[in-house]
């Protein structure tokens, strides 16, 4: 058994029994029903292998982790023009803050806060019809994970459609400033649906692999993005991937990462591995409580921090 | 000639002749007199060698780069209690913003914005008299750089004493909240003086080496801080080291770094090198214009980005 | 000819020919078509007479002036419970600012900024169906003005329905905080429609009369609200009636007043008169340019300032 | 006994025995020692009479009430140029907020928040030496009150000199923006001293009389300011005189007024009376608790609200 296998197995076992599990998000009612006892981890190595443990075959709602892939897609479609719409600075504010947006005239700080991701989705909609756009996003994830079983959880999407007032406020606010250009309801519809994509940690770790390997899929060798773009997406993940907990994640885990309110986190150890963890209970900043702890332990044990082995 | 030597030499030459040089800071009058034509670069390798080019023997005012060393010193003196006084999240605001400080009741976002660094200095003053504290800071830098010639430029310190109204506002504001506990004038006096330390890029690259090598000086092998602490200081540098230009620096350069308004930048390539650049002209965010470009070129050429070789 | 008649006539003539007329609001497209050359003024005296001049029989879109009447209606329906939903402090921000709303957890500063007025409309909808609510508001104005000809301009309402993204953002934002409780689309529908009520200055001056006379209609003697409530509505108009130009209006005009983006202003000289002015061109704060000047001249000439005859 | 005399006497008696007295300010240590059991009221009528009750011969620290007089003095010295330095809009923020100051580049919202009053003091210092300036301010109050016994309480001034960190932050902040032009320490010295002026309610009501009577002293008939300026000062008092409690004061009391953290309030009933109340206990907004209640009762009983008799 390799060192990675041992680490993954032991961490999963440790996390399975820990009593502190955080609190499941309830602001999307459908997510509130998920059993907080679950934990899963998967590591996609540079050899293309996926080593996993825990509830690693259970699909979960990837939510904001999807923003990494819509950003990648939008950059592929229109290049750096994306950065005219959204910045790439940490926001210093919670994920749904509208204050900064007012001071900065409707231009979101970065593509990983909600406003920024809605803006990126709106940009994709400038090229596609809503249904097509959603198909593109889903197929992109299926392609990256090499698994057509990945699907959109319609119940979660519908749940957020009914209750996503903050996001509706953000989108209308940007529409008033002209930084959302499409029809607000369509943009939000696609946004809520791509956040509702369900994946297992196995699929997610595999889908993120290109970011760990200079933009190439380590299994097929196909280039997804250029090496420079992969580096840059990683940089934005590190500085902005955890809302106003980004500094803390960098401090403790030391890897680029993107969390979702469904309890998933995708983390990238450049040159080494793509890692997905999932545990539904969240900490005060809205990031997976056990997921973050598991990543901290794994990184430390494997010497994978980008800030020094 | 090694690849590093070639890179350093060519970049220095390219920077020397570039017409775009940014604007020298004028808010500290004494700094406004520096010749913007200067450029220097030094790389301290893991073998303990320092490879330098340009105006690499000219001392410059390290200003905010000193914050990396006062943070290291304070952490060494009192450990993680430092983090009760200052956070470690990016601020999303300019270096001298007082707004966040009001919302967050006088607790600065991180130790690298001015308020945070003043607070760290105030913490050091809880253990030392002002003159002693300043001596400790200076000796720490002389020790790290293995060079007793490093000195405090009294003219610069005096210049900032006379004109540092923003910093005086910040310090008094924190005193009102109780997050500065000492005498405001003493705290500011020490702060202005450690910002006025003058160093060459050779000295600075050497002084930062321990951060690139798990907390150990690669020449002597002596441990300055633990490997974990070195990683964590690097993490804070990456997310917070360039004020509201931190995301941009991570995106373009891909290294932990700390800039100063004197035009210096210290950047750390973990496991590889400690790099100091200096050019007095600043960009709109107050960071060295040519310094940042030089680091971008060096990192790209050497494959040193922490986000993927 | 009485002194009031002379004043009204001369001011109307002076305003008619002034070259500086401000800029017509364009953010509601339908309002952008109004001829900026128009000016009207009407004074309803304590004897119940209405003295008018200029385009005083031309209906215009009263827009935010309607907020005075929806507030009065809501206070009549549920009493001081209204103040649990909205504050009564000046906002110090533009009419559509969302920042304060975030800091204050969705409770609008006062009933005269857009968020506050939407919240008041939402409160009315807790007792009535949308169509009924709108009927109540319209009938209340017809009753106060004693004129059934007052109507809702459907083209203006539809225009704002299509383009009111800021208001949609505010309403969704309050819905997320729970300070709007009804269906956002219904609340906004009623809000946009009551803002689209069209009145002449004659009708408006008459409708506001009860506020100048201790809550009683000076013609019929019927009590609309208690004397105390009339005083208090006037107080809120004075401190909050002109968004972030409220201080300026108090300084220059010295009367409680409420402006609308259609160019109308209702001002109250307690114990003396209710005054309506209209001129479509706005100043930088979004208040009628000539309307404010006309009121300043009238108040000064008649010695009607509440701050000293 | 006149109606005013009866009202004053009864209100004083009622306030004397009320159990709810608010909390004495402690942020200036010297003020924290004042007995909260005290209450005083004085009304200066248009006939020049002063009707008083309670502890009406006990001097108290007028604190921010002094800002009305420094504003009047500055307007007299340089006219409307004062308004280039400070605005006249309500701030919507607490008295010592620094946030707005940053967004508005160092120009305070109005002359009655601390920053604005410091700026007005700084303006007076552009014409006088510190000691002279303070003499001018004191003599102006002695002249208005026709009483040379009015003095500066040096212990209070010294207490605030030692502890006024917020004000020191504000002054340095404005100095950094260039909206304070003199020496910060001198400006603050004069500011702290004029806030430390001690007066009785009798003296204060008399000193404010000119504001109730078109700028003229009703006893001597001498003009202090023009009628227009008196009205305008009253307008600023009404919209800005109670920090973020200004709307509430207008709503409840209905008079222009200025409060001080020493528990004093000066209120103006235009054309009728100048009223001073004092009770050291403050409410949550930092305004005299019983003082405000007493004014509400007096205004209601006498029908003095500017918003309707």
**pLDDT range class, residue A94, cuts 50, 70, 90:** low
A222 and C CB contact within 8 Å: no
Residues 6+ apart with CB under 8 A from A94: A243, A244, A286
Strand, helix or coil for residue D53? strand
User: Would the pLDDT of D46 be above 90?
Assistant: yes
Calculate how close chain B gets to A236, using CA atoms only, in Å. Answer: 6
Please name the helix (run of DSSP H) or strand (run of DSSP E) that holds residue D134, with its range, or none: helix D130-145
The per-residue pLDDT for A264 is 98
CA distance C146 to C139: 10
Q: Please give the backbone phi and psi of residue D60, each rounded to the nearest 5 degrees, phi first.
A: -135, 165
Are A168 and C172 in contact (CB < 8 Å)?
yes
- Least trusted range by pLDDT, from A140-149, A275-284, B207-216, C94-103: C94-103
Q: Taking residues D7-12, what's their average pLDDT?
A: 97
Q: What is the CA radius of gyration of chain B?
A: 18
Q: Using CB atoms within 10 Å of the CB of residue A27, give its burial: 0 to 12 exposed, 13 to 18 middle, 19+ buried.
A: middle
Are the C-beta atoms of A215 and A224 separated by less than 8 Å? yes
> Which among C267, C252, C114 is positioned nearest to C194, based on CA atoms?
C114
**pLDDT range class, residue C158, cuts 50, 70, 90:** very high
Calculate how close chain A gets to C112, using CA atoms only, in Å. Answer: 20
Query: Catalytic one among A67, A236, A253, A288?
Result: A67
The per-residue pLDDT for B104 is 77
The per-residue pLDDT for A125 is 97
Residues 6+ apart with CB under 8 A from C54: C12, C15, C16, C38, C39, C40, C41, C201
Please name the helix (run of DSSP H) or strand (run of DSSP E) that holds residue A40, with its range, or none: strand A40-45
Q: Using CB atoms within 10 Å of the CB of residue C208, give its burial: 0 to 12 exposed, 13 to 18 middle, 19+ buried.
A: buried
Are C176 and A170 in contact (CB < 8 Å)?
no
How big is the CA angle at C241 (ends C235 and C247), to the nearest 5 degrees? 85
Q: Give contacts of C165 with chain A, Cβ < 8 Å.
A: 172-173, 175-176, 184
Q: Taking residues A224-250, what's their average pLDDT?
A: 95
Are the C-beta atoms of C28 and C160 separated by less than 8 Å? yes
Residues 6+ apart with CB under 8 A from B152: B134, B138, B193, B194, B196, B197, B198
For residue D39, how many C-alpha atoms fall within 13 Å in the half-sphere facing its CB? Answer: 27
Are the C-beta atoms of A276 and A266 separated by less than 8 Å? yes
Are the C-beta atoms of B274 and B206 separated by less than 8 Å? yes
How big is the CA angle at A234 (ends A232 and A238), to the nearest 5 degrees? 120
The per-residue pLDDT for C25 is 85
Q: Give contacts of B171 with chain D, Cβ < 8 Å.
A: 169
User: Would the pLDDT of B132 be above 60?
Assistant: yes
Per-residue model confidence as pLDDT tens digits over C102-142: 777 889 999 999 999 999 999 999 999 999 999 999 999 99
User: Would the pLDDT of A72 be above 60?
Assistant: yes
For C145, the token pair is 């003005």
> Is D160 annotated for ligand binding?
yes
Q: Taking residues D139-147, what's their average pLDDT?
A: 98
B305 and D CB contact within 8 Å: no
Cα C90 to Cα C69, C100, D25, D237, D248: the distances in Å are: 19, 11, 25, 14, 10
Are the C-beta atoms of B213 and B47 separated by less than 8 Å? no
Per-residue model confidence as pLDDT tens digits over D249-295: 999 999 999 999 999 999 999 999 999 999 999 998 889 999 999 99
Calculate how close chain D gets to B99, using CA atoms only, in Å. Answer: 5
Q: How many CB atoms within 10 Å of residue C223? A: 14
CA distance D179 to A284: 41
CA distance B88 to C146: 65
CA distance C205 to C221: 16
Are D235 and C256 in contact (CB < 8 Å)?
no
Residues 6+ apart with CB under 8 A from B131: none
Cα B63 to Cα B11, B180, C188: the distances in Å are: 24, 21, 54
Residue of A nearest to B88 (CA): A247
Q: Give contacts of C305 with chain D, Cβ < 8 Å.
A: 231, 235, 270
Are B239 and A231 in contact (CB < 8 Å)?
no
> Which among D264, B268, D91 is positioned nearest to C90, based on CA atoms?
D91
Q: How many CB atoms within 10 Å of residue D235? A: 25
Active site residue C67: yes
Per-residue model confidence as pLDDT tens digits over D79-121: 999 999 999 998 866 655 676 777 778 899 999 999 999 999 9
The per-residue pLDDT for B95 is 52
Calculate how close chain B gets to A226, using CA atoms only, in Å. Answer: 11
- Indicate the pTM of the whole model: 0.92
User: Would the pLDDT of A263 be above 60?
Assistant: yes
The rounded mean pLDDT for chain A is: 94
User: Would the pLDDT of D190 be above 70?
Assistant: yes
Query: Catalytic one among A86, A224, A243, A277?
Result: A243
CA distance D283 to D271: 29
Are D99 and B103 in contact (CB < 8 Å)?
yes
Max Cα distance, chain B (Å): 57
Q: How far is CA A62 from the centre of its chain?
A: 7
Per-residue model confidence as pLDDT tens digits over A1-56: 799 999 999 999 999 999 999 999 887 888 888 999 999 999 999 998 999 999 99
C97 and A CB contact within 8 Å: yes
- Least trusted range by pLDDT, from A147-156, A243-252, B60-69: A243-252
Q: Give contacts of A98 with chain C, Cβ < 8 Å.
A: 98-99, 102, 169, 173
The per-residue pLDDT for B96 is 57
Q: Which chains touch A (3 or more CB pairs under 8 A)?
A: B, C
CA distance B133 to D179: 34
Q: Which of B92, B270, B308 lies nearest to residue A234, judging by beta carbons?
A: B308
Q: Give contacts of B98 with chain D, Cβ < 8 Å.
A: 98-99, 102, 169, 173
- Chains A and B form CB pairs within 8 A to the count of 130
Residues of chain C with pLDDT > 90, as a percent, come to 86
The per-residue pLDDT for A181 is 95
Q: Using CB atoms within 10 Å of the CB of residue D295, give its burial: 0 to 12 exposed, 13 to 18 middle, 19+ buried.
A: buried
Residues of chain B with pLDDT > 70, as a percent, come to 97
> Is B160 annotated for ligand binding?
yes
Spell out the domains of chain A, with CATH numbers in brackets: 3-63+199-302 (3.40.710.10), 64-195 (3.40.710.10)
Residue of D nearest to C305 (CA): D231
Residues 6+ apart with CB under 8 A from C268: C208, C211, C212, C234, C237, C255, C256, C257, C274, C275
Q: Please give the backbone phi and psi of residue D214, each rounded to the nearest 5 degrees, phi first.
A: 55, 30
Residue of A nearest to B254 (CA): A235
Residues 6+ apart with CB under 8 A from A78: A123, A127
CA distance A239 to B238: 8
Calculate how close chain A gets to C208, using CA atoms only, in Å. Answer: 33
Strand, helix or coil for residue D46? coil
Size of chain B, expressed as the number of residues it contains: 309
Residue numbers of D between 118 and 177 with CB closer than 8 Å to B: 165-166, 168-173, 175-176
Are D176 and B165 in contact (CB < 8 Å)?
yes
Active site residue C261: yes
Q: Taking residues B140-160, what's their average pLDDT?
A: 96
**pLDDT range class, residue A273, cuts 50, 70, 90:** very high
> Which among C12, C72, C50 is positioned nearest to C203, based on CA atoms?
C50
Per-residue model confidence as pLDDT tens digits over A178-223: 999 999 999 999 999 999 999 999 999 999 999 999 999 999 999 9
Residues 6+ apart with CB under 8 A from C302: C3, C4, C7, C269, C272
Q: Give contacts of D92 with chain C, Cβ < 8 Å.
A: 89-93, 100, 109
CA distance B197 to B153: 6
Calculate how close chain B gets to A61, using CA atoms only, in Å. Answer: 27
Cα D73 to Cα B292, D107, D125, D134: the distances in Å are: 53, 20, 12, 12
- Least trusted range by pLDDT, from A239-243, B278-282, C29-33: C29-33
Per-residue model confidence as pLDDT tens digits over D149-160: 999 999 999 999
Start-to-end CA distance of chain A, whole Å, equals 22
Residues 6+ apart with CB under 8 A from B269: B212, B255, B275, B299, B302, B304, B306
Q: Which chains touch D (3 or more CB pairs under 8 A)?
A: B, C
- DSSP per-residue string spanning chain B: --HHHHHHHHHHHHHHH-S---EE--SSGGGGGS-TT--EEEEEETTS-EEEEESTTS-EE-GGGHHHHHHHHHHHHHGGGHHHHS--S--SS-TT--HHHHHTTT--S-TTSHHHHHHHHHHHTTTS-HHHHHHHHHHHHHHHHT-TT-EE-HHHHHHHHHH-HHHHHHHHHHHHHTS--S-HHHHHHHHHHHHTEEE-HHHHHHHHHHHHTTTB-TTT--BSS-HHHHHHHHHHHHHHTTGGGHHHHHHHT-S-EEE-TTSEEEEEETTTEEEEEE-SEE-TTSSBHHHHHHHHHHHHHHT--TT--
The per-residue pLDDT for C239 is 95
Residue of A nearest to B214 (CA): A308
Q: Using CB atoms within 10 Å of the CB of residue A284, give its burial: 0 to 12 exposed, 13 to 18 middle, 19+ buried.
A: exposed
Q: Which of C102, C103, C165 lies nearest to residue A172, judging by beta carbons?
A: C165
Residues 6+ apart with CB under 8 A from D255: D238, D267, D268, D269, D275, D295, D299, D304, D305, D306
> Which among D202, D279, D299, D292 is positioned nearest to D243, based on CA atoms?
D292
How big is the CA angle at D228 (ends D96 and C42), to the nearest 5 degrees? 105
Are the C-beta atoms of C259 and C25 separated by less than 8 Å? no
Q: What is the DSSP letter of A285?
A: T
Q: Taking residues B140-162, what's their average pLDDT?
A: 96
State the Cα torsion C12-C16-C17-C18 to the nearest 10°.
80
Q: Which of C90, C100, C305 lies nearest to residue D247, judging by beta carbons?
A: C90
Are the C-beta atoms of D298 and D7 separated by less than 8 Å? yes
The per-residue pLDDT for B94 is 60
Strand partners, C259: C265
Start-to-end CA distance of chain B, whole Å, equals 22
> Is A114 annotated for ligand binding?
yes
């Amino acid at each position: 058994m390799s060192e990675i296998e041992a680490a993954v197995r032991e961490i999963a076992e440790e996390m399975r029994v820990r009593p502190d599990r955080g609190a499941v998000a309830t602001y999307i009612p459908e997510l509130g029903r998920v059993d907080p006892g679950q934990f899963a981890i998967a590591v996609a190595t540079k050899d293309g292998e996926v080593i996993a443990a825990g509830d690693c075959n259970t699909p979960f709602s990837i939510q904001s982790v999807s923003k990494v892939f819509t950003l990648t897609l939008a950059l592929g479609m229109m290049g750096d023009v994306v950065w005219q719409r959204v910045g790439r600075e940490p926001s210093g504010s919670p994920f749904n803050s509208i204050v900064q947006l007012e001071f900065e005239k409707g231009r979101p700080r970065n593509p990983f806060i909600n406003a920024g991701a809605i803006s990126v989705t709106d940009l994709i909609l400038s090229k596609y019809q809503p249904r097509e756009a959603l198909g593109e996003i889903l197929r992109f994830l299926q392609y990256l994970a090499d698994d057509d079983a990945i699907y959109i959880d319609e119940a979660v999407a519908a749940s957020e459609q009914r209750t996503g007032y903050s996001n509706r406020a953000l989108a209308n606010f940007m529409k008033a400033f002209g930084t959302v250009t499409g029809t607000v309801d369509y943009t939000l519809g696609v946004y809520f649906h791509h956040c509702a994509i369900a994946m297992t940690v196995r699929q997610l770790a595999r889908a993120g692999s290109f970011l760990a390997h200079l933009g190439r899929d380590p299994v097929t060798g196909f280039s997804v993005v250029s090496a420079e773009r992969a580096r840059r997406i990683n940089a934005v993940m590190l500085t902005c991937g955890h809302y106003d907990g980004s500094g803390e994640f960098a401090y403790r885990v030391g890897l680029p990462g993107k969390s979702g309110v469904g309890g998933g986190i995708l983390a990238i150890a450049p040159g080494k591995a793509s890692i997905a963890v999932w545990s539904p209970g969240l900490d005060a900043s809205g990031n997976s409580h056990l997921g973050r702890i598991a990543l901290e332990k794994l990184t430390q044990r494997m010497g994978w921090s980008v800030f020094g082995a």
